[in-house]
Amino acid sequence: MLNYSVGSDGIASIEWDMPGQAQNLLNDASMTAFAKAIRDALADPSVKGILITSAKNDFIAGGDLEVLMQGGEAQTLFDGTLRWHKLLRAMETGGKPVAAALNGSALGGGMELALACHYRVAADHPQARFGFPEVTLGLSPGAGGTQRVPRLMGIQASLPLLLAPVFGSGVLAPVVGSGVLEGQRIGASAALTVKLIHAVVPPGEERSAARNWLIASIHGGVKPQQPWDSRGYKIPGGGPMTPAGIQLFTGANAMLREKTYGNYPAPRHILSCIFEGLQTDIDTGLKIEARYFVNLVMSPEARNMIRVRHFGINEADTPVAINDSNVSRDVYTKRVFGAYLAEGMALLAEGVAPALIDKAGLIAGMPAGPLAPVVGSGVLALTNKPSIEPAGKIARQAQADPGVERIIERLILIQSLEAARCLAEKVLTRPQDADVSAILDWGYPPFRGGPIGWIHTLGIGKFIADSQRLAAQHGPRFAPPQFLHDMAAKEERFYPA
């Protein structure tokens, strides 16, 4: 799990090396082993400095998502998160210099662990990436990222790193160099530019560079401190309640609402962590982060996004899992996305205003409303609909207003129903293929987990009841297929609970 040794120079080496794993991950076993090693090193009077390394090709890939998907009680997760925060703070304030030698990528919790070290040196590998991809999985950083990153580089510069691709580069933060902040995973030179790491060295020299810094620090006799623990520390660029900070958060919240319609709690929680946490000391800020992190882990949005974006896409990329031909996938796309477009037409024919229909589609999380042509994407060609413009000719004067929520329900439910029918007819054979295809092929909203994932989220029983209600109101296209009734009777699920 971990290799621990103390050299004659007084430096304790803690090497991550999880057995049977291609990458190092943060889970109960590895975190417990690391905690013991850190406590031993801090308590040992012969240890003067601590070096953290990896025996894998990368440093630490982040948290073990399989563990997070297993759930558990919120209080247990919160207590465990606070214990990890306490350990990292002990590293920072223990009086002994701690350096991380990043031989490859350090992402999510791995990057957060490195940030709790006093010195970070990275190997200049072209493939190595550093950053915080949690938001793309419906999560927020949970090991100090929302508190240490803005305290290190300033709030404005930290937002694209923590929130990309929600905000992207150059929108709320100045672009440092060319393309530095284009995504939440950046290369070594970009990480150095934004002060995420302290030095970049040729591959293979990162351990010696980190050790040399430790030796120099030990001989210098100066107690190591993080910037936020230093006397007179101020947040670079100012705090949240400065005029610049207020303007920044006002704009960020408005932009977030415009881009997500409130469907994705993770970026909203990250902003809240930064805004609330940076008005306090680092320890209080970490408690604030822990509460938001646990809230997200327990949310259906995060579970849906982890399942479909991480596990689903990874499984769909393996040859053993691609049981469905491209032809079947095309048929599936035509049928399900076509059902979305057709329902928009049905709403139009009922007298609902076109603008309201399209806006409801966007609010539902779809990339475009059902009446809006998707120019150049090829999506309309897949549906055998050469144009949606003639829809206006059959629309009566807009007079019906069923309400946005009812429109959204119909636009989303009809896709799930058609996806279920495709599974029943063996157009596709696995729920995860149906969900991944929907997200990749026509931009189905990931927070819902895919058309089948949405049935799972609602519960098959509720989905059947909602479908039957709509069938009674709008016709047999909303009638749920028999196999859903059979699954409900047997208390079966598409995915684990």
The catalytic site residues sit at 112, 134
Q: In what order do the strands lie in the sheet with 130-131?
A: 106-107, 130-131, 185-186
Closest by alpha carbon to 452, among 408, 497, 495, 407?
495
DSSP character at residue 396: P
Instruction: Give me the phi and psi of 401, to 5 degrees please.
Output: -140, 85
C-alpha dihedral sign at 465, 466, 468, 473 = positive
Q: Which residues, in sequence order, are bridge partners of residue 12?
A: 6, 50
Which H or E run contains 470?
helix 460-474
Distance CA 469, CA 454 (A): 17
Distance CA 297, CA 257 (A): 21
**What is the β-pairing status of strands 130-131 and 49-54?**
unpaired
First to last CA, the chain: 30
Q: How many helices (H) and strands (E) does the chain have?
A: 22, 9
Cβ burial of 37 (10 Å; 0-12, 13-18, 19+) is: buried
In this structure, the number of other CB atoms found within 10 A of the CB of residue 22 comes to: 10
Q: Which single residue is written with the structure tokens 């430096």?
A: 11
In one-letter notation, the amino acid at residue 40 is: D
In this structure, the number of other CB atoms found within 10 A of the CB of residue 355 comes to: 11
**What is the β-pairing status of strands 119-123 and 98-102?**
parallel
Distance CA 487, CA 370 (A): 30
